[in-house]
Amino acid sequence: MAIVILAQNMTALSRQWGTSAAGVSFVISSLGIGRLIVLYISGVLSDKYGRKPFVLLGILTYIPFFIGITFSHNMYVAYLFGILAGMANSFLDSGTYPALMELYPENPTTANILIKAFASIGELILPILVTMVEHFDWWFGVSFMVCTIIFAINFFFISRSTFPKLTTVPKPKKDTADEVVKEPLSSNQKVNAIVLTIYGYISMSTFYLVSQWLTKYGQAVLNMNTAHARYLVSIYSVGSIVGVLVSALLTGRLHMRSTNLMLISTFVSFMTLMAISFILTPVVLTVGSFLIGFSAAGGVMQIGLTIMSELFPHRKGLVTGIYYTAGSISSFTIPIITGYLFKISIHSIMVFDCVIAAIGFLLGIIIFFNTKKQAII
């Protein structure tokens, strides 16, 4: 909900802040700044001090964002609260993903995908909630207050929960001279680390673009009314939920390699975005919304994180920090780029997403072949 709530309330917020959709997109980019500020260090500290403090800190940082955005009267003040949201998202990432991998060590891919499942449920519910608020002519801040209440309830239960035991860096071995022996990364490991870090950026960008601009795309390019265009995001979210369930089944019960699933998902994402961009009919956009949710937002980003964590198993918090730092660069740069593209046309934004998806498919091919002989779950 937090990721898409600004886009879903774009009209009301642009009116309150006295700006355009491009101005709201500028504020959305602040989430990327917030993520960049703390994500790497929070991942490192999560390895040292545990996961639970960072989950709780993420919740306590998100609540001021929802309240602050609601009462901001210009986009510059809103930008500051957006930075808080990015920081909160980073705290949650550095706590939740490693905790679930430690809770389910025999099936970390499925565990991580579960987070995406609940994120998709939020993306499904939010557009319906916002449409209801507009239909009954309620104050637009109702959706923000609902999110605040959800976080407060979560804080209550999580603060009383017991988290799994940390699996942090083991003590380094020492040689006869009592000096630390460090095993340098092989060239293959370096390639995998670089490619997967870039993939963190690309996978985030692919579905981030769709989730932020799908409603406006339906309105401007296919002349859909506001309610129908907004429901495209709900259809996209349903696709995401189905994708999560299928991914969990394939990697859990059927033991499909994560790299195989990544390759297939990136290919489907690319082909779907090509169809959405160049076959301009409501049916294609509706079906495409489901398919892009299924492939690009059905847990493939979390699969990339799982692969990277398995390649570097003793630094889950650090790996999470690096991987999602790349994603946070995406959430900062992509809204700025799309803000400029919006001035050209909304259609150009979707074509840009095609290019991003094509790069993602190429990265998937590299990871597939470069890890073929390694024991990736």
Interatomic CA distance for residues 266 and 165, integer angstroms: 34
Interatomic CA distance for residues 169 and 315, integer angstroms: 6
Q: What percent of the chain has pLDDT over 90?
A: 43
Among 83-87, 102-106, 257-261, 284-288, name the one with the lowest average pLDDT: 102-106
Among 157-166, 177-186, 329-338, name the one with the lowest average pLDDT: 177-186
Which residues lie across from 180 on neighbouring strands? 174
Give the type of residue at 93: D
Q: For the segment 106-136, what is each residue's pLDDT rounded down to a tens digit?
A: 877 777 777 878 888 888 888 889 989 988 9
Helix (H, G, I), strand (E, B) or coil at 4: coil
Interatomic CA distance for residues 374 and 196, integer angstroms: 15
Tokens standing for residue 135: 């239909």
Among 146-150, 187-191, 234-238, 363-367, name the one with the lowest average pLDDT: 187-191
pLDDT surpasses 50 at 52: yes
| Residue spans per domain, the chain | 5-165+186-370
Rounded to 5 degrees, φ, ψ at 261 are: -65, -40
Looking at every residue in the chain, the average pLDDT score rounds to 86
pLDDT surpasses 60 at 39: yes
Selected residue with higher pLDDT from 133 and 105: 133
Interatomic CA distance for residues 9 and 15, integer angstroms: 10
Interatomic CA distance for residues 241 and 149, integer angstroms: 23
Domain 5-165+186-370 has CATH 1.20.1250.20: yes
pLDDT score for 179: 44
**Vertex 207: Cα angle to 59 and 279 (nearest 5):** 150
When pLDDT is cut at 50, 70 and 90, the band that residue 177 belongs to is: very low
The residue ranges of DSSP E strands in 93-252, in sequence order, are: none
Place of tokens 């025999």: 106
pTM score: 0.73
Q: Is there a contact between 276 and 290 (Cβ–Cβ < 8 Å)?
A: no
Selected residue with higher pLDDT from 180 and 291: 291
Mean pLDDT throughout 335-357? Answer: 91
pLDDT score for 170: 47
